[in-house]
Chain A
Amino acid sequence: MARTKGYPEALEKKLADTRLFEDERHPEFTKTVEKISMTIPHMCYQCGTCTASCPSAPRSSYRIRKFVRRALLGLEDEALTDPDLWLCTTCYSCTDRCPRDIAPTDVIMAMRNLAFKRDIVPVNFLKTVQAIYTTGHGVPNNDVNRAARKKLGLPADPPTTHGFPKYVKGIQHILDYFELKKNADRIVKEREG
């Protein structure tokens, strides 16, 4: 498909974002997002209530409305490679206010799941996985806290997987079942050497 209409270069550049090319669309992306998110993005009429409710929108280029549009146009690469995808705080304000009863937050979560399948994921998410694999906790205990707990009359380690480490095996089974630890280790190694 022709990617230029022969306008002057500066105008071509300016209009680059306004064109939609059929070969960039993946209809199955729309369906997959719909399946994972259990919401129906194509009900969206682009009113922008979601972006207006978004705590991340005023301080970044993240536009939730744009991601919903990308979902229903099937713009897989554009959606998944955009670093703004990771700026959603999952506060669900957009979901509560959407006049079309869509859950834009869940659309974002579905896209993040799909991005991870292509190894697109910020490292901090993977570090949480590694911490949970070892201790069962995303935010593990430390010595200062152990001392404080004892002073309060609590056991130094809470009665969770910290106090009963034999239960960590169950967590490792779940993470291994989905090969999550293996993938997390691999990606962290690729990024950080």
Chain B
Amino acid sequence: MREYAFFLGCIAPNRYPGAESASYKTAEKLGIKLLDLEGASCCPAPGAFGSIDLNVWYAMAARNLVIAEQMKKDIALICNGCYKSIWEVNHKLKHHKELREGVNEVLKGIDMEFKGTIDVWHLAELFYDPEIVGCDKIRDSVKVPLTGTRIAVHYGCHLMKPKKERHFGSTEHPWWIEEMVAALGAEPVDYRNKMLCCGAGGGVRGYDLVHSIDITNEKMINLKEAKVDALTEVCPFCQLQFDRGQIEMEEKFGVRWGLPVLHYCELLGLAQGMTPQELALDLHAVSCEPFLQKVL
């Protein structure tokens, strides 16, 4: 059993606890144990904090990294926003001496020091990596195959972009999460402009909601065209934007999409036999019933 320090972030534990719960349980079945990262905070939000003062962003993220360094465990996380903060700050501080010294000067006041001894991973990339889990192992863990459902994937931005700072290759038309969806027995569906942003990032959701959900609405139009039963993603902030965003779109634009949105861990949980109650799917703003009826 591999062990990772589980960095929760904000939106998964505080808005979609089902995604958190599913992460522990699904990962355990695939040979990954997620440990508590005691006293971790917001990553902090790369849009909000990065926009105000990048130095604060570095220092706050470094504090979370140091907690994991003290545990001597790599970090695993389930949110693209957290990935940007935690992975990118870890990477930058390891490679820029000046930045690292600046951050350590701040952390000195709370008896912490960034040493650069751990790595950061998104749980989805650990699931996909054949040396750690891989699609075959995912397929073997499925108890309730999602046969007969059409599922589209939203990759989100900060996991894979900017590509020259990441290790995922081209960001124009990736297909690896679709492979993991196919491993659950569902049919992965391609759609127009798949890599378009959900619209929530960069503080835009808070700054101009209508502008933000208009971007989401464009995605919904493209998803509708592809006739999908559900949308899956690997980022609770995108999940919030697509899920609660549909209520906001109904209010502002008068359109009703009714598309269930599930985090990949929730989808995996369903396929591994977790019940909708164990995944707290009733907390979703858009009912998952139509999708569940096809599956269960």
Q: Which residues of A are interface residues toward B (Cβ below 8 A)?
A: 36, 55-56, 59-60, 86-93, 95-96, 101, 103, 105, 109-110, 112-113, 116, 121-122, 124-129, 132, 136-142, 144-145, 148-149, 151-154, 158-164, 166-171, 173-175, 177-178, 180
Asked if B50 is at the interface (CB within 8 A of a chain A CB), the reply is: yes
Instruction: Please give the distance in Å from B98's CB to the nearest CB on chain A.
Output: 11
Q: Which of the candidate stretches B32-40, B69-77, B130-138, B255-263 sits at the interface with the other chain?
A: B32-40
Residues B37 and A159 in contact, CB atoms below 8 Å apart: yes
Decide if B48 touches A175 in the complex (CB within 8 Å): no
Contact A89 B52 (CB under 8 A): no
Q: Which residues of chain A are within 8 angstroms of B59 by Cβ–Cβ distance?
A: 174, 177-178
The answer to whether A87 and B280 have CB atoms under 8 Å apart is: no
Contact B215 A122 (CB under 8 A): no
Minimum CB distance partner of A131 in chain B: B42
Interface presence of B296 (CB below 8 A) = no
Known contacts A92-B157, A96-B161; is-contact A87 B211 (Cβ 8 Å)? yes
Once A141-B14, A174-B56 are accepted as A-B contacts, the answer to whether A160 and B41 lie under 8 Å apart by CB is yes
A-facing mask of B149-180, CB < 8 A → 1, else 0?
A: 00000000110011110000001000000000
Do A88 and B63 contact each other (CB < 8 Å), given the known contacts A93-B197, A159-B37, A159-B38?
A: no
Taken residue by residue from 43 to 75, chain B's Cβ proximity to chain A (1 for < 8 Å, 0 otherwise) reads as 011111111111110011001000000000000
Pair B53/A116 contact, Cβ less than 8 Å: yes
CB of A174 within 8 A of CB of B63, answer: yes
In the assembly, what is the distance between CA of A90 and CA of B212, in Å? 12
Cross-chain contact B51 with A125 (CB below 8 angstroms): yes
Q: Are A171 and B60 in contact (CB under 8 A)?
A: yes
Closest to B283 in A: A148
Query: Which range contains the number of B residues in contact with the other chain?
Result: 35 or more
A132 touches B42 (CB 8 A): yes
> A89, B204: Cβ atoms under 8 Å?
yes
Dominant secondary structure of chain B at its interface with chain A: helix
Q: Which residues of B contact A56 (CB under 8 A)?
A: 204, 211, 215
Question: Is B290 interfacial (CB 8 A cutoff)?
Answer: no
* Contact between chains at A178 and B40 (CB < 8 Å): no
B142 is an interface residue with CB less than 8 A from chain A: no
Give the interface of B toward A (CB within 8 A). 8, 10-11, 13-15, 17-18, 20-21, 36-42, 44-56, 59-60, 63, 106-107, 109-110, 112, 157-158, 161-164, 171, 195-197, 199-204, 206-208, 211-212, 214-215, 218, 277-278, 280, 283
* Of the residues B38, B53, B55, B110, contact of A170 by C-beta under 8 Å: B110
Taking the closest CB of chain A, its distance from the CB of B157, in whole angstroms, is: 4
Chain B residues with Cβ under 8 A from A124's Cβ? 48, 203, 206-207
In-complex Cβ contact of B63 among A110, A166, A170 (8 A): A170
Task: List the A residue with the shortest CB-CB distance to B40.
Answer: A160
Check B55 against A91 for contact (C-beta < 8 Å): no
> Which of B14, B18, B48 has the most chain A CB atoms inside 10 A of its CB?
B14
List 20 contacting pairs A-B, 8 Å CB cutoff, sorted by A. A36-B54, A59-B214, A89-B157, A90-B158, A92-B162, A93-B157, A109-B50, A110-B54, A112-B51, A128-B206, A137-B10, A138-B10, A138-B44, A144-B283, A145-B15, A149-B13, A167-B39, A167-B41, A174-B110, A178-B59
A87 in contact with B204 (CB, 8 Å): yes
Q: Is the CB–CB distance between B55 and A154 below 8 Å?
A: no
